[in-house]
Structure 1
């Protein structure tokens, strides 16, 4: 009989559930305007301060060629790791994740949604910072964008995996302290705004921020290929921490 209401209860397709969570993550991020400003503000100050003044010692004659790619890498870490770890830690503490765990959203779906939302935010941030770099005189190689994007996706996955792993295992206060400490140490030792000791290939495996920054310099500033060791380093970080987060992530 036409016109009769016939409900069809059932679980929504996984892609629909994950897409809905991605939209929610982006909406919540947009509401935390102060966090977005902070994530953009620090890298922007580093770019302008170290790129346009002699405040720091950088190798070579082209300061912007060294500083701008480093700042782009720093932005990825700031958003995908520090911001992600702190936000997720408090969501777990407030019981938000526990409620999501009772929904059709799976653990892997939540991790994917959070990483995808962070990646979307990072794209906006990188475009903005690259535009500022262009405005002040940075001249990147447009033909090297694809490998630069590749290493950036790997770095985002690695940082997001580590952030979610920490947020699900530590108290939010401990997560905040550990994430901030790691961020500061990476900034100090990663050669972002000043020349750091050259640790060679070993340094790329220990300091993913340094590996990412060097990859962006090689591609965007100098039009060279990404060293194989950097691909291996960022790939290893991504596989290890994404896998660890997927296996051990706790809702509460």
Structure 2
């Protein structure tokens, strides 16, 4: 009788479980005031600051055209590295990761849900930043969107892997300190917002090999020149593979 009354009863499929976990992770991130400041408010403040100052003069057709790709790259780092790293670190501290990893969702489904949440939030960031930049006069090349979005996804993968590596190997308090400190350092001196040409000479030869520098320069090439920077793609792929392998090897679920 119960089978007749509930013909669709049974465990949800793995894709559905991943979508539900991703939905939960997304809502959690969007409801967190600190996350919103990091993901939306600070990048928008940086965008306005770069537009009203002469720091990027001479690097593109206009200040906003030069600044916006770097701000989009900063959004990817904010959400995938700092935001996801902090959230995962404290989930690990309170036993949430260990509990969810033993459910039908599994460890792979949990990670897939986190990646899905990062992509959804990043999409919202692109909409918000793109709208504000458009209001300020940003006019990206139409053909730049496909390689630009592809680079953003690749950059998000690299920074997610790095965030999970930090969150899974050190204490949550250390994760909070490390991710915030690196966000500041990479944002200011890592080539993600300010091109390497405007950084001190001692850093110019280094930042191109950082995920921040590769993503920032790759997006500037895409949106300003309409080209795909293959070195940036290879560097981001290398960081994704290395950080992902290290996270798989050393991540501790409790």
Flag whether TM exceeds 0.5 (same fold).
Answer: yes
Question: 2:53 aligns to what?
Answer: 53
TM-score by length of 1: 0.89
Question: 2:157 aligns to what?
Answer: 157
Secondary structure at the counterpart of residue 169 of structure 1: coil
1:203 paired to 2:203: no
Of the candidates 215, 218, 222, which is equivalent to residue 219 of structure 1?
Answer: 222
User: Map of 1:1-252 to 2, 5 A cutoff?
Assistant: 12-54=12-54, 56=55, 58-60=57-59, 62-191=62-191, 192-193=193-194, 195-197=198-200, 203-205=207-209, 207-223=210-226, 225-252=227-254
Unaligned regions of 5+ residues in structure 1, if any?
none
Moved more, 196-205 or 166-175: 196-205
Unaligned regions of 5+ residues in structure 2, if any?
none
Contact 1:50 1:193 in 2 (8 A): no
> C-alpha separation between the residues in 1 aligned to 2:2 and 2:83?
53
Residues 78 and 58 (structure 1), Cα distance of their counterparts in 2 relative to 1, 3 Å cut: farther
Moved more, 132-141 or 193-202: 193-202
RMSD: 2.5
Residues 142 and 94 (structure 1), Cα distance of their counterparts in 2 relative to 1, 3 Å cut: same
Residues 116 and 2 (structure 1), Cα distance of their counterparts in 2 relative to 1, 3 Å cut: closer
Moved more, 21-30 or 158-167: 21-30
Contact 1:111 1:164 in 2 (8 A): no
Contact 1:101 1:107 in 2 (8 A): yes
Shift of 1:4: 5.1
Contact 2:56 2:67 in 1 (8 A): no
Q: How many residues align?
A: 249
